[in-house]
Amino acid sequence: MLRTLAVENYRSIQHLIVELSPLTVVTGANGSGKSNLYRALRLLSEVVREGALRSLAAEGGLRSALHAGDRRGRDAVALRLGFAADELSYAIDLGLPQPGVSPFPLDPEVKSEVVWAGETLRPSTTAADRRSLRVRVRGASGTLEIAPWSVHPTESMLATLADPDSAPELFALRERARGWRFFDALRTDPDASARRPGPATFTPVLSGDGGTLPGALATLLRVGNAEALQRAIGDAFDGARAVVEEDDRGIARVGLQQPGISRSFEAAELSDGTLRFLLLATVLLAPRPPGLLVLNEPEASLHPRLLPALAGLIALAAQQTQVVVVSHADGLVRALRDDAGVIELERAGAATTVRGQLPLEGPAWTWPSRT
């Protein structure tokens, strides 16, 4: 489980270190920095999973993503991201190329990164580290040895890891992060794929846009916690039941069966809020839960009366996997507060801070050195 998330110099976040729980709710007013914390966590996961920094480039490069507050003239340009976990932890320090060296002077370069065992970074717990282009991994002798592979300045050392036997900790970290799931783009518009029939194949994980709903819902109903799904749907929609009707070609149609109505209402007929709730229920009750599930503003387009049912599903999911919810819906936050660690963000000038947390409070954290 992730215990600590650390972010420095990312958009509105100048310096933020927060403790994560089995269920964490991030809340705060509009403009407080919730979305930036979510994006920082997602960027961190993409760096660990894929190794490349394409997502940061897509945001406009390092200068666009850097904190816009005052910076002392001698301070090096640095964007730092990291997390501490029960088993393997990670941190990366990004900066700009040396002037005149790179043909792309605004592309981010990796200045340093470290993977270590447990929550606390110490020389004895370091499994691998990287300074500029030099990578060291802990060898069979127990000492840190120069790795037999080369790295690119704009890629994490995880990107060029080809042999898991030479660095099993790096391989394990990358594979674990590839199981994390982020949902912030579930589509419910008239052209959304979730509204159309689809193959009723084994689909243990819903796609990021919700387009594989027919297969994912069929999988949940057949091999997952169908009872919890139907109970949540019934509580939210006056006794309704989710149905998947499959034809002889294996093409499925998703719908809701209402009490007293002879036919089911297909996904194409459902309101945005009803379809979104069905998508979220499918995510939260997935028969193959991820190691980390992150939901960004799941309350979008939901009527407030649906929030208690959604909160119940989130709390149930948190019994199987670590869940982070980013929300400004008071009803959802109140419904989750007793089961969650709540991080309330606020804006102090140009910087995002945690309400009630002093600068030196919060979890212990040490950034890796560039030298």
Q: Is residue 40 part of a domain?
A: yes
Q: How far apart are CA 38 and CA 53, in angstroms?
A: 17
What integer is the mean pLDDT of 23-47? Answer: 95
Whether residue 203 sits in one domain with residue 161: no
Q: Is residue 312 part of a domain?
A: no
* 190 contacts: CB under 8 Å, gap ≥ 6: none
Whether residue 158 sits in one domain with residue 66: yes
Tell me which residue of 256, 261, 287, 281 sits closest to 271, measured CA to CA. 256
Does the pLDDT value for residue 370 go beyond 90? no
Q: Is residue 219 part of a domain?
A: yes
Residue that is last in its domain, among 256, 276, 296: 276
Whether residue 9 sits in one domain with residue 137: yes
Whether residue 6 sits in one domain with residue 97: yes
Q: Is residue 207 part of a domain?
A: yes
Whether residue 133 sits in one domain with residue 262: no
User: What share of the chain has pLDDT > 90, as a percent?
Assistant: 76
pLDDT: which is higher, 7 or 96? 7
Whether residue 231 sits in one domain with residue 126: no
- How much of the chain is helix, strand and coil, in % rounded to 5? 30, 30, 45
Whether residue 241 sits in one domain with residue 108: no
Does the pLDDT value for residue 52 go beyond 80? no
Q: How far apart are CA 157 and CA 161, in angstroms?
A: 7
Residue that is last in its domain, among 276, 297, 316: 276
- In this predicted model, what pLDDT tens digit does every residue of 166-188 receive, in sequence order? 889 999 999 999 999 999 999 99
Sheet of 322-326, strand order: 181-183, 292-296, 322-326, 23-28, 341-348, 351-354
What integer is the mean pLDDT of 359-368? Answer: 87
Q: What's the angle, vertex CA 258, arms to CA 251 and CA 233, rounded to 5? A: 80
* 49 contacts: CB under 8 Å, gap ≥ 6: 174, 177, 178, 180
Whether residue 151 sits in one domain with residue 10: yes
Whether residue 268 sits in one domain with residue 152: no
Tell me which residue of 107, 112, 109, 106 sits closest to 92, measured CA to CA. 112
Domain that holds residue 241: 187-276
Question: In the structure, what pLDDT confidence band is assigned to residue 285 with cuts at 50, 70 and 90?
Answer: very high
Q: Is residue 232 part of a domain?
A: yes
What integer is the mean pLDDT of 217-246? Answer: 96
Domain count, the chain: 2
Radius of gyration of the chain (CA): 22
pLDDT of residue 291: 95
Whether residue 159 sits in one domain with residue 54: yes
Model's pTM, two decimal places? 0.94
Q: Is residue 282 part of a domain?
A: no
pLDDT of residue 107: 78
Does the pLDDT value for residue 295 go beyond 60? yes
Q: Is residue 112 part of a domain?
A: yes
Whether residue 236 sits in one domain with residue 131: no
Q: Is residue 322 part of a domain?
A: no
- In this predicted model, what pLDDT tens digit does every residue of 305-352 receive, in sequence order? 999 999 999 999 999 999 999 999 999 999 999 999 999 999 988 899
Whether residue 150 sits in one domain with residue 7: yes
